[in-house]
Structure 1
Amino acid sequence: MINMDKTMDTLYFFWGMLLFMLLSLGSIKAAQEGALITYLPGFIGNFPSKHYSGYVSVGEKNLFYYLVVSERNPSKDPVVLWLNGGPGCSSFDGFVYEHGPFNFEARKPKGSLPILHLNPYSWSKVSTIIYLDSPAGVGFSYSKNETEYVTGDLKTAADTHSFLLKWFGLYPEFLSNPFYVAGESYAGVYVPTLTSEILKGIKAGAKPTINLKGYVVGNGVTDGNFDGGNALLPFAHGMGLISDDIYQEARAACKGNYDEPGIICSKILDKVDKALEGLNVYDILEPCYHDPESKLNTSLPSSFQQLGKTNNKNIPVRKRIFGRAWPLWAPVKDGIVPSWPELAVQGSVGCMNDEIASTWLNDKSVRTAIHAQPESIVGAWVLCTHRLLYRHDAGSMIPYHKTLTRQGYRALIFSGDHDMCVPFTGSQAWTKSLGYKIIDEWRSWMSNDQIAGYLQGYENNLTFLTIKGAGHTVPEYKPQEALDFFSRWLNGKPI
């Protein structure tokens, strides 16, 4: 009789577990169905893969994501979390202007919804991508408790890790896929701090277990000794933007410290400022528009007058306007980081007019389609928010890179070689400073049978790569080349 009782108890346990699993699966399926995007205003046709979006709660914070499932092999392709920088800039910047599934065509009159075309160079061709607005207060992410908008590097990494654990609970079918963290600009801080947080969670037994494989940083801020003026002066000299005389004067007067100059050094740096004034800080090859509301100069080439027409499709590249852009001189230092709107001369993000993204993402029908909260709850969508009080409290990223790469995690550090905001010279210098053995000596790499840039491969799975002719947001300027190096690197193939 005792054995029979034990048998019944065991059966009840297993039936209970089975019922729990069925209920859980039913709950997950319902959550996914509620997050599924079935249409997007401005797009006509079928999506090449499934799209999902919605909110994941982390404490009092509600973090918004947009998921684009891989168009190739969703069950095996890598899952990539994409983060834009700032701090305080929305990852819809990457979605709309860089490597998202659509290209956006502007329409007249001003304020009309753009037309969406499929992007042949979307990174969803080879990976499943999560575009996350992080931290709370950025993009569509929000908290009813505005004290949550006081944050910093370490808190942001912890919150994003919590988001991922919950997200994978909602999409467990992706748990076995290789996982990578990727981003650009201030995500040079977001990415290594988050990757380290994930690694700590794996070691501590956090569930579910994320299949972390590595990370990707584009034109990312890293360390005060390598960013700012110490990267800018060699860049400006090498690009022929300042004379050899000015460069040698600055080196002698500043003694290698351009970020906290003395009186004599400051006078020389004024010459550098004057030489660089008027250039597009995000891509020195691109024209600058000196007022966000001004009309295009009729003396510009017709291609610029038509906002970057390509292949007769009217697909626009963002208009550019000149603004004093961070971190042209000063690198990120410990303490409060000013917001981009605070730093911009025009009261908006310097050098950018993001009319297309703002028009589309602030449309009520678009918000409904992507399950974003209305403006009455989350506010208007802006590219880079002023709501955060953000503290850089993680220090230099170099120790993070050393720890991660020495433990076998793959790292790709890429840089558009015409970006003056976070010049490639800084990224090249700090990757070299790690002291790793060179296993793939400096060489060109190819895309579409043309030299697309240069790379140097180091031991411990670290690769530094440049993209020829690209600016701060590489996939925006060189979409085909960006997809090429990204897909080859993800697949473990030589670039």
Structure 2
Amino acid sequence: MDVPKHYLFSILVVSLVVLFSDPLEAAPKASLITHLPGFNGTFPSKHYSGYVRFKGQRHPTRRHLFYYFVESERNPSKDPVVLWLNGGPGCSSFDGFVYEHGPFNFEAPKKQGEHPILHLNPHSWSKVSNIIYLDSPSGVGFSYPSIPTGDLQTASDTHTFLRKWFKLYPEFQANPFYITGESYAGIYVPTLVSRVAKGIRKGAKPKINLKGYMIGNGLCDSEFDGLNSLIQFVHGMGIISDKLLKEAEVACDGNYERNEDKTQCTTALAKIAELIMGLNMYDILEPCYHKKNPEATSTKNTSLPKSFQELGKTDKPLPVRKRMFGRAWPYRAPVRDGIVPTWPQLTQSLQARGVSVPCTNDEVATAWLNDEAVRKAIHASPKSGNWNLCLAGLEYNHDAGSMLSYHHNLTSKGYRALIYSGDHDMCVPFTGTEAWTASLGYKVEDEWRPWMTNHQIAGYLQKYAHNLTFLTVKGAGHTVPEYKPRESLHFYSRWLEGERI
């Protein structure tokens, strides 16, 4: 019996649809990670990594942006897709992968030259979400090449990355999508969310199912994030006396940020700087880690922000942290408009002034990610050069201004926002973040209260209208999931689910 041609054509079309929509086949097979040096066992979910390549709109150089994608261990076809961005600017998101909420915990190798031993992380954020760790902007981590960029260009490039990524992984296009990050990602995230939202309004394809964003200890506005919040924080923590606070208030006319150049104000601030310089600015509860022979990695001469020029008059080393892989995030606040010194540039400038290098230790990540077997396993190109936590030669321009208008516009349009702070971070103190979230003027819907994990108070929160929540994490520093992994997974998972924290 002859089969009608139109019937055969219909069968062919249906077969092609099934073939190309099968979630098991949609992700690029060449990007699948089958093993990782240092880990013996079975991955609890699929891992992918590779490059998304494209030319930029403002700067036509071809970018090669590197990502590491971890599917959810729960239900990858339904769970949210989350983009994670570390800050800097110019620092790799492998910081979050290795030290914070990635799928593994790293144990020190037993012998020199061996790989770190990887154990499954019981508090990985991949327990409840699909998560993309992106090295951005171009030149950071395994992404290449390094090009001059800024806030707006980075947002544009990352939006292009996302559109191309969702084409590579079409089975995730319908999943709820969130953009998250910490520190300078307080700038990256709102500018990117705004760019993605604009693309949605203009009908950009594929359509991204954007639902909201989350920022940890992130920058927002120099007036809120700067000296005004710092002085309030250190006084509240018992680091400076009532007498010195009153002296500074009078000398600086109540606004330290605007009057720091006045002689009397400068004198008062110098006294405060002397009291805080021996502290780990990224977690005042923790000691500092210092390399014995720190190396200067910068190739540029960049002047420090004025508020740092008086810090430190000694290079006396502080004790090495007992928690070997712990280190605090390498960033200084606030950021003002214009070229932003990157972390390696700042480090070199500090060393030249005889000031101790801030409390960081990225030795495990650096050794592991520069191992040839590891690089081959995760498909990192030799063209990317050596992996560094933060890029030394990045020319980066803070050109987006204050984030207050971004937050107001995005939340008023219905995008959910969780703004969280480790309450012992002196780099971007919670005092400033609490103030700017309140300054948006939204009605309080859930009055300041404790939130709990394991029957213990884990922090405090206040929820506003328009789905804006400010939350603190008790005892955590600048990189919250590093210090409080259990508590972080708790608020992260409940917020993604839209449940009460």
Task: Please say whether Structure 1 and Structure 2 have the same fold, judged by a TM-score greater than 0.5.
Answer: yes
SS in 1 for 2:225: coil
Tell me if 1:436 matches 2:437.
no
Deviation for aligned residue 1:387? 2.4
Q: 1:12 to 1:162 in 2, by over 3 A?
A: farther
Amino acid at match of 2:340: V
Gaps of 5+ in 1: 1-6, 309-315
SS in 1 for 2:390: coil
Q: 1:28 to 1:372 in 2, by over 3 A?
A: farther
Amino acid at match of 2:366: S
Which of 222, 225, 228 is the matching residue for 1:227? 225
Deviation for aligned residue 1:14? 7.2
Q: 1:16 to 1:337 in 2, by over 3 A?
A: farther
CA deviation map 1:86-129 (0-9, x unaligned): 00000000000000000000124444310000000000001000
Matched residue, 2:43: 47
Deviation for aligned residue 1:258? 2.1
SS in 2 for 1:217: strand
CA deviation map 1:238-279 (0-9, x unaligned): 000111111111111112332351111000001000110110
Matched residue, 2:246: 248
Which of 12, 30, 34 is the matching residue for 1:34? 30
Gaps of 5+ in 2: 56-61, 295-315
Deviation for aligned residue 1:350? 3.1
Alpha-carbon distance between aligned partners in 2 of 1:222 and 1:480, rounded to the nearest angstrom: 27
Alpha-carbon distance between aligned partners in 1 of 2:23 and 2:456, rounded to the nearest angstrom: 50
CA deviation map 1:29-85 (0-9, x unaligned): 486110000000000000000000000012100000000000011111111000000
SS in 2 for 1:453: strand
Alpha-carbon distance between aligned partners in 2 of 1:464 and 1:110, rounded to the nearest angstrom: 44
Matched residue, 1:77: 79
Amino acid at match of 2:120: L
Amino acid at match of 2:278: G
Mapping for residues 110-259 of structure 1, pairs under 5 Å: 110-143=112-145, 146=146, 149-259=147-257
Amino acid at match of 1:224: S
Matched residue, 2:380: 372
Q: 1:247 to 1:50 in 2, by over 3 A?
A: same
Amino acid at match of 2:137: P
Q: 1:271 to 1:177 in 2, by over 3 A?
A: same
Q: 1:66 to 1:320 in 2, by over 3 A?
A: closer
TM-score by length of 1: 0.88
Q: 1:28 to 1:488 in 2, by over 3 A?
A: closer
Deviation for aligned residue 1:26? 9.7
Q: Given that residues 349 and 384 in structure 1 are in contact (C-alpha distance below 8 angstroms), is that contact kept between their aligned partners in structure 2?
A: no
Matched residue, 1:337: 340
Alpha-carbon distance between aligned partners in 2 of 1:185 and 1:96, rounded to the nearest angstrom: 17
Q: 1:123 to 1:26 in 2, by over 3 A?
A: closer
Amino acid at match of 2:73: E
Alpha-carbon distance between aligned partners in 2 of 1:66 and 1:37, rounded to the nearest angstrom: 9
Q: 1:39 to 1:410 in 2, by over 3 A?
A: same
Amino acid at match of 2:385: G
Amino acid at match of 1:152: G
Q: Given that residues 64 and 132 in structure 1 are in contact (C-alpha distance below 8 angstroms), is that contact kept between their aligned partners in structure 2?
A: yes
Mapping for residues 414-433 of structure 1, pairs under 5 Å: 414-433=420-439
Moved more, 337-346 or 113-122: 337-346
Tell me if 1:387 matches 2:406.
no
Q: Given that residues 151 and 389 in structure 1 are in contact (C-alpha distance below 8 angstroms), is that contact kept between their aligned partners in structure 2?
A: yes
SS in 1 for 2:211: strand
Deviation for aligned residue 1:140? 0.3
What's the % identity of the aligned pairs?
A: 63
CA deviation map 1:218-239 (0-9, x unaligned): 0000001101101100000000
Matched residue, 1:465: 471
Q: Given that residues 280 and 358 in structure 2 are in contact (C-alpha distance below 8 angstroms), is that contact kept between their aligned partners in structure 1?
A: no
Amino acid at match of 1:263: T
Deviation for aligned residue 1:293? 5.1
Deviation for aligned residue 1:20? 7.6
Moved more, 23-32 or 203-212: 23-32
Matched residue, 1:488: 494
RMSD across aligned C-alpha pairs, in angstroms?
2.6
